[in-house]
Amino acid sequence: MKLGIFDSGLGGLIIAKAVHDHMPDLDIVYLGDTLRLPYGNRSDDAIYEFTRQCVEFLFSQDCNLVVIACNTASARALRRLQQEWLPGANYPGRNVLGVIVPTLEAALDHGYHNLGLIGTNATVNSGIYPEELKKVSEKIDITQKATPLLVPLIENEGEAWLGDVLEHYLEPLKARGCECILLGCTHYALLKNQIRKHLGQGIEVLSQDEIIPAKLADYLERHSEYADEISRGGTIEFYVSDITPGYKAAAAKLYGREIDIQKAEVA
């Protein structure tokens, strides 16, 4: 079997690369749903259905374990997939993991008490970060801010406007005295340096490309049923549900080198 990594688009390539760098022997299959991105303003039903189809595609590629790198899909579809679909669809020996709990765990590992979160409208409005945080501690505050302009800015080379947009979005989190900002969206890893620079010293920024690989390695250590089964040829395959020259160029930029992307039929 292989490890599947799914994102609504290409931002998850940053996570896939970080996982590959951390565990270079694992065989990985990446799928980005470029045909239907962005997910961030979609309904729950649409996000669930698209995510389910993409996970099914990764299962068909021999990925018994799939990481949903997309925060929006983790927030809006993961629970339903784990609780209703996986058992009902009769997929024994397969599992789907998300990025929200590991990200919160990383913040708790650092001992922060006053967190800020930025993410898409769908992620923030789901309330899943505060909900999951409450399960482990009542004493930690989290202030959320939906930052829907960031993905289009990243995707359309809108860096020139980034300063004003970050000021607008991050100011309320600074005013709340947040000690640490969680970047709750695959794309935001690309902005981590600008966000760190913007916030200055004294406010930590947790970026999921720096969190998920170690958390996944930890999961595999505790789950030999997957760790023992994953093939270890160090390969990484890339699939997208729609290919354009623009996506190819963006994929190369995000992954840091030219990559061979194939078209997946997911719908």
Q: Which residues bind ligand DGL (CB under 6 A)?
A: 7-9, 11, 37-40, 70-72, 120, 123, 151, 185-187
Minimum separation from the CB atom of position 215 to ligand DGL (A): 16
* Contact predicate 193/166, CB 8 Å: no
Query: Is 70 one of the catalytic residues?
Result: yes
Minimum separation from the CB atom of position 202 to ligand DGL (A): 26
Q: Which two tokens stand for residue 22?
A: 């951390």
**Bridge partner residues of 182 (DSSP):** 117, 206
Minimum separation from the CB atom of position 182 to ligand DGL (A): 12
- Give the residue among 57, 78, 70, 69 at the shortest CA–CA distance from 2: 57
Minimum separation from the CB atom of position 239 to ligand DGL (A): 16
> First and final CA of the chain: distance in angstroms?
23
54, 63, 180, 185: the catalytic one is 185
54, 70, 178, 180: the catalytic one is 70
Q: Which C-beta is closer to ligand DGL: that of 184 or that of 230?
A: 184
Number of neighbours of residue 101 by Cβ within 10 angstroms: 18
Angle at 21 between CA 16 and CA 27, to 5 degrees: 65
Q: Which C-beta is closer to ligand DGL: that of 146 or that of 230?
A: 146
Cite the DSSP H helix spans in 110-185: 121-126, 128-136, 150-155, 162-175
Tell me which residues are annotated as active site: 70, 185
